[in-house]
Structure 1
Amino acid sequence: MAAGPKGDIPMLEDGKIFIGASRNPDDSINKPEYLDLKFGNRHGLVTGATGTGKTVTLQVLAEGFSRAGVPVFAADIKGDLSGIAAKGEPKDFLTKRAEQIGFTDYEFDQFPVIFWDLFGDKGHRVRTTVAEMGPLLLARLMDASEPQEGVINIAFKIADQAGLPLLDLKDFTSLLNYMGENATELSSQFGLISKASVGSIQRAMLVLEQQGAEHFFGEPALKISDIMRTSNNGYGQISVLAADKLMMNPRLYATFLLWLLSELFEELPEVGDPDKPKLVFFFDEAHLLFNDAPKVLTERVEQVVRLIRSKGVGVYFVTQNPLDVPETVLAQLGNRAQHALRAYSPREQKAVKTAADTFRPNPAFDCATVITNLGTGEALVSTLEAKGAPSIVERTLIRPPSGRVGPLTDAERQQVMDKSPVLGVYDDDVDRESAFEILAARAKKAADADAAKRAEEDAGQQQGSTTSGW
């Protein structure tokens, strides 16, 4: 076994997160590798093929930020990340890795976790209102065409001017019905409203409801402050979103996370470059955000990522292939961990070259060659150092996590939820008066008025026929 560096390697030293230890070409250990907390808001990227250790690297980073008092939000695609809420257990592969990198003070720990779930099955319900989602993201969620997106924009204008709160899907459906019934009158005021486009949007709404999107819209809406908590021991709270069921609707998954990022951007104050981030946000399966995304949406992501760092938020994209992320976004990701990539097809070879070219070269090895030969739990790592310049890339053995590697049992998850600081806050729906009730009341009032008018006319006709008879 290769010799480790001399002395203990602390997990957190001088405002840094210990990621692992780099090794020399002869496989001897070189030096510890850290992520500097003051550059934690400069975003990051974790990439690599399936089974190469991305989730464990995500866990190591999440633990490090939490231990430093930084709240974390992360989606849990397979359920494995839930184990971060439990103290780790001695296992051969963990202790072996700790010995291999000279991590002599390796200890197990558990971290404060709040579980969230759009469906309310494996965590507290997460909701937003249709109004907060906004027309751009709602159109993306429906995969709307350009004419449909125009009608959706008009719908939001009508709701705003008419004082119609759009809270849940039934509110938006009621508004669409109103627009269809009054298309001619509304078109003269807001622009062309095609009944065909309204009808197609209504059909798209039905599909959304069948996919479970109605669980996401409503109240009480998520308060951003509830994912930015710290625990009593000073650790940053880790918000884990159960995403196994949500991933069955990839568009809803990606749209929800983009909405959350947008809310953070809009609500948080400017803080410049703090000593450590205010929040770190891990976007797993990041390719889903950009797949077939219209230009306006990609530009929105680029803008949010570029500007949100001054709000103290670090965004870390996790995906298999660096080509999954547009170059305009990729250029903004300062802290990187590249796990192994396969390079059989031309596209895979291009991905390897792209990944290699994004690193500051190390004269000791060829990046493109090493990327295809990395072992499990090993990555090419480069982080930002003094003055925000990227460090020379190092072939790094990722440190073992302190929390459990693997999922919680259902009973363990429930125990965590029962002690949650937001227990009871989001678990029940609140259905206050909104567009659905207001439009229904208006329709009833109009129908009652019509009925009264007809009754009056009928009574008049009946009286006329009575007085004119012999």
Structure 2
Amino acid sequence: MGEIFLGLGGNDENQSLDLGRANRHGLIAGATGTGKTVTLQGMAESFSANGVPVFVADVKGDLSGIAMAGSSKFKHADKLEGRAKDLGMETYEYSDNPAIFWDLYGEQGHPIRTTISEMGPLLLARLLDLNDTQEGVLQIVFRYADDNGLLLLNFEDLQSMLLYASQNSKELSSVYGNVSRQSVGAIQRQLLSFESQGADQFFGEPALEIDDFLKTDEEGRGYINVLAADKLMRSPKLYATFLLWLLAELFETLPEVGDPEKPKLVFFFDEAHLLFDDAPKALEDKIEQVVRLIRSKGVGVFFVTQNPTDIPDEVAAQLGSRVQHALRAFTAGDRKAIKAAAENFRINPELEIAQVLTELKVGEALVSTLDEDGAPTVTQRTLIKPPRSRLGPVTKKERAIIKSISPVEGKYDEEVDRESAEEVLAQKASDAVETAKEVEAKGEEEVRRQPRKTKSIWEKAFSRGAKVAVGSVAGMAASKVLGKKSRANPMRSGVTSAAGSIATDLAGPVAGRFVRNLIGGLMR
């Protein structure tokens, strides 16, 4: 199996991470300014060089430089080159990395979107800080949309559904259970507050395809997916919920692979404490379950945080590799945390781990990984290797160039707004007004004999299919004029198109319900 070099241990032996054990997850921790970001950057580079795609959240705006080669002209270059010399890295050269920039707001990278249906009521309820009663009403709204073939794609769709639920609360309550207008109103207020933070831009189409996170370049290097999160961090609950959703999507999408020779993706979760802040115990349990299960999909998750005690014990128990930078001991609480952190490392008789944790210099860390048998290696005080890419952010011009040559350029940049719940309900309301006017003018019996104005999902599909069939007939005629043979059967093309159209219209509700049931099973 391959391995990635982390640094030189105090025993003069290289400290490395076995690629075949990288899906057993890990922890990078340490106080501010002790070198966590540099460690993360160096590890991401090494994974990429070994053909492993990487996802990192750039919470401070300085990780984007991973796309550009470092240089002797840049700040701290002398320290990086000096450290490489200390480590005996004779082949140390600056180099860039293949990168794709992403941004939920679409400002510093390709926008990342998902649909309201794919997010589901459980994660939305956490995102909106809903209580159990309000979450139950949200569940009913989703169920009604599914039962009636209404696509919930963006905020407008959800707001339209909530308005409909409020106006028809008695009807919904008789079928699905109590739907109080007070609960609907509370959800609407939370949505408005959330929308004011720009969160509505995250919901819509085209939705993210997970495979776009798993790309390699022509040289076989894994793409490093950099999420611009400096603005996103102003909405910490959105940041944490988004990453939790992403883990759930990876779990649902990827096949079982057991323990591969190298991971299919390595996921760095910076500011990991946000995932657990104010989270109920039941949610923590399920996060632990997701982390444990996603390992078999070949995904490695590395939590990056200031203090290892930010991670609940049940989750920390799943983290096989640990890179612990210095911790500060200013208060009694700090000393207690240092003692707890020291107890999670394999004992090294030559190190007083609790004491060393307060003495580590910038760029040093205590390192323990998993060996070939899956057992923790003896903890070593380690000088961490320097990255080869730039330390610091890219310029606006460099970011634009990198975005323009991205393998997903043009795929997500323009939002698509197809017919969904908002349009269907608006049309339904319009038809109701017209019908009321006609009833008043012509009488109820006369109106009942008139054909229905709004087509059903099946009628719309076959209507579109008929248009395809007409196009196919015209195509055959043109082929004959040009002397070409056509194998297209216009009737079959029409039926196939109708079936495809029905599948498209139903895919949102049906697939959305399937994914939500799966996520719900994990989150409950």
Q: Classify the TM-score, shorter chain.
A: over 0.9
Distance, in Å, in 1 between the alignment partners of 2:331 and 2:169 is: 52
Cα distance in 2 for partners of 1:436, 1:345 equals 55
> Alpha-carbon deviation of 1:387?
0.9
Q: Distance in 1 between matches of 2:168 and 2:400?
A: 49
Q: Mapping of 1:64-463 within 5 angstroms?
A: 64-90=46-72, 91-456=77-442
Alignment deviations for residues 185-239 of structure 1 (CA, whole Å, 9 cap, x no partner): 1111111111100000000010111000111000000100101000111100000
The aligned residue for residue 467 of structure 1 is: none
Is the partner of 1:342 in helix, strand or coil? coil
**CA shift at 1:297, angstroms?**
2.4
Q: What amino acid sits opposite 2:364 in the alignment?
A: E
Runs of 4+ with deviation above 6 angstroms = none
The more displaced of 264-273 and 337-346 is 337-346
The whole-number CA distance in structure 2 between the counterparts of 1:351 and 1:262 is: 31
3-state SS of paired residue (1:206): helix
1:445 and 1:114 map into 2 onto residues whose CA distance is 46
**SS state at 1:166 partner:** coil
1:21 partnered with 2:21: no
Partner of 1:59: 41
Matched, 1:41 2:23: yes
Counterpart CA distance in 2 for 1:151 and 1:359 is: 46
Report the count of equivalent residues.
441
Q: Distance in 2 between matches of 1:334 and 1:125?
A: 33
Which residue in the other structure is 1:468 paired with? Answer: none
Query: Gaps spanning 5+ residues in structure 1: where?
Result: 1-13, 25-29, 461-470
**Cα distance in 1 between the residues matched to 2:31 and 2:381:** 17
For residues 437 and 335 of structure 2, the distance between their equivalents in structure 1, rounded to whole angstroms, comes to 73
Query: Which stretch has the larger CA shift, 98-107 or 222-231?
Result: 98-107
Question: Structure 2 length as normaliser, TM-score?
Answer: 0.83
Instruction: Give 1:294 deviation, angstroms.
Output: 2.3
* 2: CA distance, partners of 1:404 / 1:289: 29
Counterpart in the other structure of 2:472: none
Alpha-carbon distance between aligned partners in 2 of 1:131 and 1:412, rounded to the nearest angstrom: 36
Distance (whole Å) between structure 1 residues aligned to residue 414 and residue 285 of structure 2: 36
What letter is aligned with 1:44? Answer: G
Which moved further from structure 2: 232-241 or 296-305? 296-305
Q: Which amino acid aligns with 2:259?
A: D
1 CA distance for matches of 2:439 and 2:199?
42
- 8 Å CA contact 2:21–2:372 kept in 1: the answer is no
Question: Which one-letter code corresponds to 1:362 in the other structure?
Answer: N
Q: CA deviation at 1:243?
A: 0.4
Query: How far off is 1:457 after superposition?
Result: 5.2
SS of structure 2 residue aligned to 1:272: coil
The structure carrying a bigger helix percent of its residues is 2
Letter in 1 for 2:169: A
Per the alignment, residue 453 of structure 2 pairs with: none
Contact 2:8 2:15 in 1 (8 A): yes
Conserved in 1, the CA contact under 8 Å of 2:368 and 2:378?
yes
Deviations 1:22-59 (A, max 9, x none): 125xxxxx111100000010001000011110001000
CA distance in 1, matches of 2:258, 2:17: 19
In structure 2, the partner of 1:464 is: none
AA partner of residue 213 (structure 2):
I
Counterpart CA distance in 2 for 1:353 and 1:192 is 51
Q: 2 CA distance for matches of 1:160 and 1:394?
A: 55
Contact 2:256 2:296 in 1 (8 A): yes
SS at match of 2:13: strand
For 2:439 and 2:431, the matched residues in 1 are separated by 12
Q: What is the identity, as a one-letter code, of the residue corresponding to 1:136?
A: L
Bigger mean CA offset, 102-111 vs 236-245: 102-111
Give the TM-score normalised by the residue count of structure 1. 0.92
Indicate the residue corresponding to 1:5 in structure 2: none
* Residues 298-334 of structure 1: per-residue CA shift (max 9 Å, x gap): 2221111000010000000000011111111000000
Shift of 1:118: 0.6
2-side partners of 1:376 and 1:147: how far apart? 49
8 A Cα contact 2:121 2:138, kept in partner: yes
Hey, what's the Cα distance between the residues in 2 that align with 1:57 and 1:44?
Answer: 13
Shift of 1:347: 2.5
Distance 1:201 1:455 in 2: 39
Partner amino acid, structure 2, of 1:60: G
Question: 1:246-273 CA distances to partner (integer Å, 9 max, x unpaired)?
Answer: 1110011111111111000001000010
Q: 2:333 and 2:435 mapped to 1: Cα distance?
A: 67
Contact 2:18 2:372 in 1 (8 A): no
1:450 is displaced (CA, Å) by 1.2
Report the AA paired with residue 394 of structure 1: Q
- Report deviation, 1:175: 0.4
Distance 2:22 2:111 in 1: 29
Structure 1 residue 107: Cα displacement:
1.5
The 8 Å contact of residues 150 and 424 in structure 2, kept in 1 or not, is answered as yes
What letter matches 1:85 in structure 2? A
Superposed displacement of residue 448, structure 1: 1.3
Shift of 1:244: 0.5
CA distance in 1, matches of 2:441, 2:384: 81
AA partner of residue 232 (structure 2): L
